[in-house]
Chain A
Amino acid sequence: MKKLTLLSFVFSFFILMEPEKHMAAENLQAILDSMKEGAVVKLENRTYEGNIVINKPMTIIGSDKTVIKGDGTGNVISIKAPNVKLKYLTVTHGSMNRNSAEEYAAIKIYTNNNVVEHISIRHSFHGIYLSQAHNNKIRYNNIKGMGKGEIAAQGNGLHIYYANDNLLEHNTIEGTRDGMFFDYANNNHSYENNISNTRYGLHYMYSDENIFKRNVFTMNTGGAAIMNSNHLKLEDNQFIVNYGNQSFGLLLLQANDNYIANNTFYMNQRGLYIDQATRNIIKNNRIIQNQIGIELWASSNDQTFTLNRISENTIPAVTLGGQGERNSWSKDGKGNDWGSSFPLTDLNQDGIGDFPVIYHSSLHQLIEDQEITNLFLKSPAITIYEKINATLNNDEVMFKDSHPMAAAKSSRKPLLFVAFGLVIGLILLKGRHQLCITFGRNGRKT
């Protein structure tokens, strides 16, 4: 009888303990704690319960279906030791609490020289958060948020806070608040990241001397917002289809001395949106098929635009709030290529137009006064509106490029024009009789 009582007591103890629920979490943390510095931990293809804190240098490697699932109360993985490497994991269920003292993330890094790569992140406030962490490598990660409409309830894909000299490359971020957010973070390098469906794909606040190359921003409310940040280099990036009433490819707000070269701005509401910014060099970019190519506010001075191809935009460039000072549309005798809508003569064949390109527009006042104007920018009526106002002298000079580049070969839709010509030809040349035969009378001629 005593033995039976003891046995049932032991059993009930195990049942009350709910061993499966707690053991996994304790196991992973316990496993990590039991490791020596520099150890390599290989995780199985299963779900481990978090949260975990890494307190010593080590490498954690998962595989296809290794998931670390947080308990929803904090950071899922906190890295508090340097030289930690995390690879091939899925990290989920960080805390979404906004009333806490701290903003939580799937992976929060407080230390230097860590590597985080091939990690998928879901259901977390921030994706990867670098807090005063330097010289880290964050690459090949995939972060998905709650979608474009949700701004306050979720955080950023990569949140870089007072963190310098980090390398961020080949990350894919979708549907978070901002794709990559830099706050007081300097000298970081970001290469070949792909960011879509966020509020701002890239958001710099008070962050200087960062380099940003070959990244792609698509379908964000704003491609990249550079605010209060100086001496950045943005090269070879693509800002594509950032489309919406207040959208832009690249916003420069109180941003100075930045170098923006070889980027593509394609089908954005505004290609570049420049406000209260000075001494930026915008060189060799392709600004194509945007509704407004460049929106330049009067508070911006000393911008240099040179060697850009600015074509097929509804409005190539507009200056709002008056003319800024010393904004230059050419440098060292080289202006911009304004496309086929500004025909040029180049009699000496030096690739530079013989006369300046001057663009007049009457829309600036409407755009400035009435935000609904943006909804008309795709309408063919805009062209007529501009022409009529030009004849009434209601327009103003938007820019003057003294040294325009000869237009590159036009890539307009030739077949489209052939087809359109065909219809017009039918109406005008063949006459109404033939047209009526075509569209009616069963195709019979009598």
Chain B
Amino acid sequence: MHYIWKEWKENIRGKGLWLSLSIIVLISISILFRSSVLSFDKGFYVLLINLFDAIIYFIPILCLFIGAFSIFQEKEQKTLIMLLTKKDNYASFLVRKSLGLYVVVLVPLMIWFFLYLLLLKFNFGLDITSYLIFVAAIICLNLVFLQMGAAIGSFSRSRMQIIGYTIFVWFYFFFLHDFILLSFLPDVTHENVKLFSAAYFLNPLQAVRMFLETGMGLYSFGHMSRLLEKFMWTKPVFFLLGNLVIWLVISFGTAIVFNRKEGYE
């Protein structure tokens, strides 16, 4: 609880959280204006997909920055050393710090998406289940990238390193991961399609998108070919949960194993 309170105070004094939130608010409102011409019945789904397609560019990088700098700040201000010399080890510090980060980033975001739902009510026929799925997708995206950010903050020695790693991670998941898979695509057969599928859904952006589009009933996977059936060997929600667990564990592990307690200006 102390960590959450501390994190909250630090973040409301800083500009990072507000900048990130304002970008998301700005994008959501602009998409709402753009979508006002859509039909009452199904426009809601189109809006959510467009909104997701737009904010997916921002949430990863903003969360990476917030997570990374939040940890690094503890190093810079020597508070990390102070905390660790008292009773915490790095793992318990990281767990509490991460929880603080989740709460501080997700609570304002959830409040905004609740207000946004009220705005949507004037223009569209709402489907609350779909909206909850959308919000869950956004939460998952936040969790994964905040935790990756925390890992980057843990093993970085300087701010320059943080910026470098963050941009690399963002670039990797946005372009490189899919690009590598695209080059393997001609070699995908019935035998190895499961492996390929696992690699495909290792990208949080793809796992979240699939969960959202199928959850909202937009993307239909009925009556698939045998290859595609094998590709979708479990439900999208399990792909997402698997992805979430894998990246949270990897991020935690990396942060604990490679953490450096000192940071330089």
Contact = CB atoms under 8 A, between A and B. Distances in A.
Do chains A and B interact in one complex?
Answer: yes
A440 B10 CA distance: 8
A288 to B, nearest CB: 12
Interface string B217-252: 111111111011001000000000000000000000
Given A148-B220, A439-B65, A216 B182 contact: no
Interface in A263-301: 266-267
A344 to B, nearest CB: 24
Contact of B225 (A148, A149, A371, A419): A371
A380 interface: yes
A204 to B, nearest CB: 20
Nearest to A373: B185
Interface string A183-205: 00000000000101100000000
B13 A442 contact: yes
A173 to B, nearest CB: 13
Contacts of B10: 442
B69 A372 contact: no
Interface stretch (B70-78, B81-89, B107-115): B70-78
A376 B69 contact: no
A379 interface: yes
A380 B181 contact: no
B186 A221 contact: no
Interface in B1-21: 10, 13-16, 19
Contacts of A385: 179, 182
B163 A376 contact: no
B178 A376 contact: yes
Contacts of A443: 13-15
A416 B27 contact: yes
A370 B189 CA distance: 9
Contacts of B206: 375, 379
B179 A384 contact: yes
A245 interface: yes
Contacts of A419: 23, 26-27, 58
A295 to B, nearest CB: 17
Interface stretch (B42-50, B118-126, B135-143): B42-50
A311 B188 CA distance: 31
Contacts of B41: 194, 196, 218
A267 B223 CA distance: 21
Interface residues of B, number: 67
Interface string A136-158: 00000000000011010000000
Nearest to A436: B159
Contact of A221 (B13, B175, B222): B222
Interface SS of chain B? helix
Nearest to A420: B57
B228 A245 contact: yes
Interface stretch (A50-58, A92-100, A236-244, A331-339): A236-244
Contacts of B179: 381, 384-385
Given A151-B222, A221-B220, A423-B58, A381 B182 contact: yes
Interface in A389-446: 411, 413-416, 418-420, 422-423, 426-427, 432-433, 435-444
Counting chain A CB atoms within 10 Å of each CB, the highest count among B27, B39, B76, B179 belongs to: B179
B39 A216 contact: yes
B217 A148 contact: yes
A443 to B, nearest CB: 4
A333 B240 CA distance: 51
Given A416-B27, A416-B30, A372 B182 contact: no
Contacts of A433: 159
B18 to A, nearest CB: 9
A245 B49 contact: no
B228 A267 contact: no
A271 to B, nearest CB: 15
Contacts of A151: 222-223
Contacts of B224: 245
Contact of A149 (B31, B200, B222): B222
Nearest to A245: B228
Contacts of A437: 15
B231 A372 contact: yes
Interface string A208-251: 00000000101101000000000000000000110111010000
B221 A245 contact: yes
B23 to A, nearest CB: 5
B16 A243 contact: no
Contacts of A444: 13
A366 B39 contact: no
B54 A370 contact: no
A240 B188 CA distance: 31
Interface string B194-214: 001000100000100100010
A372 B76 contact: no
B257 interface: no
Contacts of B174: 380-381
10 contacts: A151-B222, A151-B223, A219-B42, A241-B42, A370-B188, A378-B209, A413-B30, A435-B159, A436-B69, A442-B13
Given A221-B222, A415-B29, A423-B58, 8 more contacts: A219-B217, A241-B218, A372-B231, A418-B26, A419-B27, A438-B19, A441-B77, A444-B13
Closest 4 CB pairs of A and B: A381-B178, A440-B69, A415-B30, A439-B69
